Amino acid sequence: MKKLENLLKKMSLDQKIGQLLQLNSSLLNREKTNIVTGPQQKLGLTPEMLQCCGSVLNFDCAESMIALQKAHLEQDPLGIPMLFMMDVIHGCRTIFPIPLAMGCTFDTELVKKCVTMSAKEAAASGVHVAFSPMLDLVRDARWGRVMESTGEDPYLNARMGEAFVKGFQSDILDRPEYIPACVKHFAAYGAAEAGRDYNTVDMSEHVLREYYLPAYKAAIDAGALLVMPSFNTIGGTPSVANKHLLRDILRDEWGFDGVVISDYAAIREMRVHGYVETDKEGALKAMEAGCDIEMMSGAYPKHLKELVEEGKVSMEQIDRAVMRVLRLKDKLGLFENPYRYASAITEKVLSTSFESRSLVRKAAAEAAVLLKNDGVLPFSKDVKSVAIVGPFAEEKGIKGFWSCYGKDEDCVSVAEGVRAKLPDADIVTAKGCSHELLDRDTSGVDEAAKAAAGADIAILCIGEYQNHSGEGNSRADISLPYPQRKLAEAVLAANPNTAVLLFTGRPLAIPELGEAAPAILNMWQPGTEGGNAAADLLFGDAAPGGRLAMSFPYMTGQCPVYYNHMNTGRPLKKDFRTAAYCSRYQDCPNDPLYPFGFGLTYTTFEYGEIKLSADSMKPDGKITASVTVTNTGDRDGAEVVQLYLRDNVASLVRPVKELKGYQKIFLRKGESREVSFEITDETLRFWRADGTYGSEPGEFSLALAPSSAAPLTNTFRLD
Ligand code: BGC
């Protein structure tokens, strides 16, 4: 620490401000030059500032990182290495299923393994920090960024958040293959009004604390070293200037002492929000809230010096922020080795290696959710002819949005996967229509239906293209586009042995498939090995392991729809069509088409009677809830046993049910196992009416069940 303090003492104010600056690599000078170009000028960058820039985002590969760092070290008067950051969201070059799919695995060990693999690839490309995990709770499938989240549940998101952080960092970042995680987007970005990206958020402290904050908190408790505030406002305050979030909660309550980095140009956007008149005021507000690094907007380099000279920002504030950045660099060992794990050779060896591809293939099968199966799946490998139809039949763009250095050409399409699986079968493909959202062209439908009619089995590959979800890609209508609906109608009518293979970055409203398709297998956006994983699943070499981490609505108009909602004073108790004066839609059920926690596989499970070890407990006691689960089908398989609770009466109305635990178990055919969960006072705590966190005595209901749709059957009391 003395070393860093001495370094700080040597730094001029400009050099300090440089540490608080993050630039796109394209803005950095690779040659020793004093010329400042247009885009640099726009950000208020001087040659001196460029020389001492503290961190970089968006660079190409190990070679380019090494060149940039080398040029920088030759120019920076104090030789302070830069930090290199990238969006390693679901893979680096080898792309894993999107995070929403990873949430569906309910398997934190697997997630951790996949993230570690990505961390290693990223580290070899010169990445020092991953802008991940994204832990925004998501309830509205219209929002494009639901694909980056692990879903609608605070408990599952928290467990997944921990797994991501441990996967990136291990416990102590003890090897250069591990890289720090940056938790984002703090906070509640997922609650953007009407599911439109960057939109306003407004919510009570209770909702924020109960649902939206737990996952960020869990990831920080797991050791995440950076936090990124969100783009949105909450209650009128942009997150990057939100003292309540960044100071009261993050630093003071949670004791976070790592680096806070703004989102892309978020400080400048405060002007656009109408929160500040000038960038100077923006810089002041962000500094006051405790934002250490400014990503790409020029308010800090342009105005911090002036603000210090005017006495509005103190040198102590600047020093605190700079020290956090220097500490991170020191932790990564950059002062000793500024290139860390970067190596063009290692990068090449690791990228899309056999080992990482095999892990993607496994993860994609574990994440896939079988939404419906009337018995057509798995298909027999003895089929003579197969028709693979739809816009995703031969599509290689199935890796998903935000895929870092991933390339479509690395991906295995469904057609390629099936051909490799059935080398002797007669396989035909037909696109039928495009995947474009606003297209109306159905001219290829007949030919596709004909191909389906002429084959033993048909695989209908439809859904949403990878660039139709992700940042900036909200949708007002999440049903299948018109040509794909027409294609589905025709193909399902043409061949009863059709399985729908869904590719999507968000839950879609697909009631027509729910009615007409004999089988629906949701692959999400499965990554580099998507087509192979699909073939494994379709032909029974793997079984679908996923359970929904986010509900699928019947109709877009139901959004936001989520299982852990309140009851209202007039809940819907009968069929929506005949109910009156209650909380319902006239034209659609309240419940989603496929609820959180739901997913079938190739075997079936039976749940025995739920047993509680006692009827009541004291705050220092516990109750064990257990159930015997039996594999009643004719294949081995995995089940996710889920614990749901309801606090029946409380000082604030509690949700109709909340996930409080889960266990993914593997049972051989015919095997039974008792699965137990411990309930302690901690399980029952919530953000109470008086603004404190704790339990309240009274009655609780419970279920141990295969999905959130199950009724709560047992009760106990907390005395
Ligand atoms: C996104 C962040 C991302 C950043 C840097 C922003 O537009 O909101 O999630 O980390 O860009 O690429």
What confidence tier does 135 reach under pLDDT thresholds 50, 70, 90?
A: very high
Cα(469) to centroid of ligand 1, in Å? 15
532 and 402 fall within a common domain: yes
Q: Is residue 591 part of a domain?
A: no
Q: Residue 47 above 90 pLDDT? A: no
Q: Give mean pLDDT, residues 649-672.
A: 98
pLDDT computed for residue 33 by the predictor: 65
pLDDT computed for residue 44 by the predictor: 82
Q: Which residues of 27-41 are buried (b: 16+ CB within 10 A; e: fewer)?
A: bbbeeeeeebeeebe
Catalytic-role residue among 263, 279, 410, 536: 263
* Lowest mean per-residue pLDDT among 23-27, 276-280, 405-409, 483-487: 23-27
Cα(263) to centroid of ligand 1, in Å? 6
Q: Which residues of 274-300 are buried (b: 16+ CB within 10 A; e: fewer)?
A: ebbeebbbbbbbbbebbbbbbbbbbbb
Cα(634) to centroid of ligand 1, in Å? 47
Q: Give mean pLDDT, residues 541-545.
A: 98
Percent of the chain with pLDDT over 70: 99
pLDDT computed for residue 442 by the predictor: 98
Asked if residue 644 has its Cβ within 6 Å of ligand 1, the reply is: no
Q: Residue 490 above 70 pLDDT? A: yes
Nearest ligand 1 atom, CA 184:
9
Alpha carbon nearest to ligand 1 atom 10, residue: 131
Asked if residue 269 has its Cβ within 6 Å of ligand 1, the reply is: no
Domain carrying residue 327: 1-83+298-331
Which of 138, 262, 264, 269 to mutate to test ligand 1, by most ligand atoms within 8 A of the CB atom? Answer: 264
| pLDDT per position as a tens digit, 218-242 | 999 999 999 999 999 999 999 999 9
Q: Which residues of 106-139 are buried (b: 16+ CB within 10 A; e: fewer)?
A: bbbebbbbbbbbbbbbbbbbbbbbbbbbbbbbbb
pLDDT computed for residue 235 by the predictor: 97
Average pLDDT, the chain: 97
DSSP state letter for 246: I
Q: Residue 297 above 90 pLDDT? A: no
Asked if residue 57 has its Cβ within 6 Å of ligand 1, the reply is: yes
Which of 25, 86, 87, 184 to mutate to test ligand 1, by most ligand atoms within 8 A of the CB atom? Answer: 87
Q: Give mean pLDDT, residues 67-86.
A: 96
394 and 454 fall within a common domain: yes
Asked if residue 408 has its Cβ within 6 Å of ligand 1, the reply is: no
Q: Is residue 223 part of a domain?
A: no
Q: Which of 547, 571, 596 is the last residue of a domain?
A: 547
Asked if residue 197 has its Cβ within 6 Å of ligand 1, the reply is: no
Alpha carbon nearest to ligand 1 atom 12, residue: 87
Q: Please state, as a whole number, how many other Cβ atoms lie within 10 Å of the Cβ of residue 559.
A: 22
313 and 421 fall within a common domain: no
For residue 634, the domain's CATH number is: 2.60.40.10
635 and 689 fall within a common domain: yes
Nearest ligand 1 atom, CA 230:
8
What confidence tier does 246 reach under pLDDT thresholds 50, 70, 90?
A: very high
Distance CA 8, CA 487 (A): 65
Asked if residue 264 has its Cβ within 6 Å of ligand 1, the reply is: yes
Cα(590) to centroid of ligand 1, in Å? 34
The alpha carbons of the chain give a radius of gyration, in whole angstroms, of 26
374 and 468 fall within a common domain: yes
263 belongs to the catalytic site: yes
Q: Look at residues 629, 643, 662, 627 and name the one whose alpha carbon lies nearest to residue 700.
A: 643
Alpha carbon nearest to ligand 1 atom 8, residue: 263
- Kindly give the interhelix angle for 482-494 and 445-453, rounded to the nearest 10 degrees: 20
**Amino acid in the structure at residue 617:** M
Asked if residue 59 has its Cβ within 6 Å of ligand 1, the reply is: no
Q: Is residue 358 part of a domain?
A: no
313 and 405 fall within a common domain: no
What confidence tier does 32 reach under pLDDT thresholds 50, 70, 90?
A: low
Which of 83, 132, 263, 469 to mutate to test ligand 1, by most ligand atoms within 8 A of the CB atom? Answer: 263
Q: Which of 311, 331, 351 is the last residue of a domain?
A: 331
Q: Residue 34 above 80 pLDDT? A: no
Cα(559) to centroid of ligand 1, in Å? 25
pLDDT computed for residue 649 by the predictor: 98
Please list the helix, strand and coil fractions of the chain in percent, rounded to the nearest 5, in that order.
35, 20, 45
CA-to-CA separations, 508 to 54, 397, 504, 523, 704, in angstroms, rounded: 42, 18, 8, 12, 27
Cα(295) to centroid of ligand 1, in Å? 9
Alpha carbon nearest to ligand 1 atom 7, residue: 264
Alpha carbon nearest to ligand 1 atom 5, residue: 264
Specify the residue for token string 């090494």.
Answer: 66
Which of 55, 59, 131 to mutate to test ligand 1, by most ligand atoms within 8 A of the CB atom? Answer: 131
615 and 509 fall within a common domain: no
Which of 182, 471, 473, 474 to mutate to test ligand 1, by most ligand atoms within 8 A of the CB atom? Answer: 471
Domain total in the chain: 3
Specify the residue for token string 């070290």.
Answer: 73
* Lowest mean per-residue pLDDT among 40-44, 105-109, 240-244, 384-388: 40-44
Cα(87) to centroid of ligand 1, in Å? 7
Q: Residue 174 above 90 pLDDT? A: no
Asked if residue 84 has its Cβ within 6 Å of ligand 1, the reply is: no
Q: Give mean pLDDT, residues 660-664.
A: 98
For residue 500, the domain's CATH number is: 3.40.50.1700
Q: Is residue 263 part of a domain?
A: no
Q: Residue 42 above 90 pLDDT? A: no
Nearest ligand 1 atom, CA 182:
10
Q: Is residue 541 part of a domain?
A: yes
Q: Give mean pLDDT, residues 602-626.
A: 98
309 and 413 fall within a common domain: no
Under DSSP, is residue 677 helix (H, G, I), strand (E, B) or coil? Answer: strand
Asked if residue 184 has its Cβ within 6 Å of ligand 1, the reply is: yes
Cα(193) to centroid of ligand 1, in Å? 19
611 and 693 fall within a common domain: yes
Give the dihedral sign, CA 244/250/255/257.
Answer: negative
pLDDT computed for residue 198 by the predictor: 98
Cα(466) to centroid of ligand 1, in Å? 17
Query: Residue 553, preceding bond cis, omega within 30 degrees?
Result: no
Q: Is residue 576 part of a domain?
A: no
Asked if residue 679 has its Cβ within 6 Å of ligand 1, the reply is: no
305 and 405 fall within a common domain: no
DSSP state letter for 210: I
Nearest ligand 1 atom, CA 132:
10
pTM: 0.98
429 and 524 fall within a common domain: yes
What confidence tier does 717 reach under pLDDT thresholds 50, 70, 90?
A: very high
Q: Residue 361 above 70 pLDDT? A: yes
Q: Give mean pLDDT, residues 317-340.
A: 98
Asked if residue 471 has its Cβ within 6 Å of ligand 1, the reply is: yes
Distance CA 258, CA 400 (A): 30
Cα(563) to centroid of ligand 1, in Å? 29
Q: Which of 286, 307, 331 is the last residue of a domain?
A: 331
| pLDDT per position as a tens digit, 181-214 | 999 999 999 999 999 999 999 999 999 999 999 9
Asked if residue 107 has its Cβ within 6 Å of ligand 1, the reply is: no
Distance CA 587, CA 571 (A): 16
Residue 592 has phi, psi (to 5 degrees) of -70, 165
Question: What distance, in Å, lies between the first and last C-alpha atoms of the chain?
Answer: 50
Q: Where are the alpha helices (DSSP H) in 332-435?
A: 344-350, 354-367, 414-421
Cα(133) to centroid of ligand 1, in Å? 12
Asked if residue 636 has its Cβ within 6 Å of ligand 1, the reply is: no
504 and 616 fall within a common domain: no
What confidence tier does 43 reach under pLDDT thresholds 50, 70, 90?
A: confident
Write out the DSSP string of 24-87.
Answer: EGGGS-SS------HHHHHTT--HHHHHT--EEE----HHHHHHHHHHHHHH-TT-PPPEEEE-
Nearest ligand 1 atom, CA 134:
9
Distance CA 710, CA 631 (A): 18
Q: Residue 50 above 70 pLDDT? A: yes
Percent of the chain with pLDDT over 90: 96
Cα(194) to centroid of ligand 1, in Å? 21
Asked if residue 87 has its Cβ within 6 Å of ligand 1, the reply is: yes
What does the CA dihedral 25, 28, 31, 37 come to, rounded to 10 degrees?
A: 130
Q: Give mean pLDDT, residues 246-259.
A: 98
Q: Is residue 341 part of a domain?
A: no
Q: Residue 1 above 80 pLDDT? A: no
| pLDDT per position as a tens digit, 118-132 | 999 999 999 999 999
Nearest ligand 1 atom, CA 58:
12
Alpha carbon nearest to ligand 1 atom 6, residue: 264
| pLDDT per position as a tens digit, 545-560 | 999 999 999 999 999 9
Q: Give mean pLDDT, residues 410-416.
A: 98
Q: Residue 422 above 80 pLDDT? A: yes
Cα(264) to centroid of ligand 1, in Å? 6
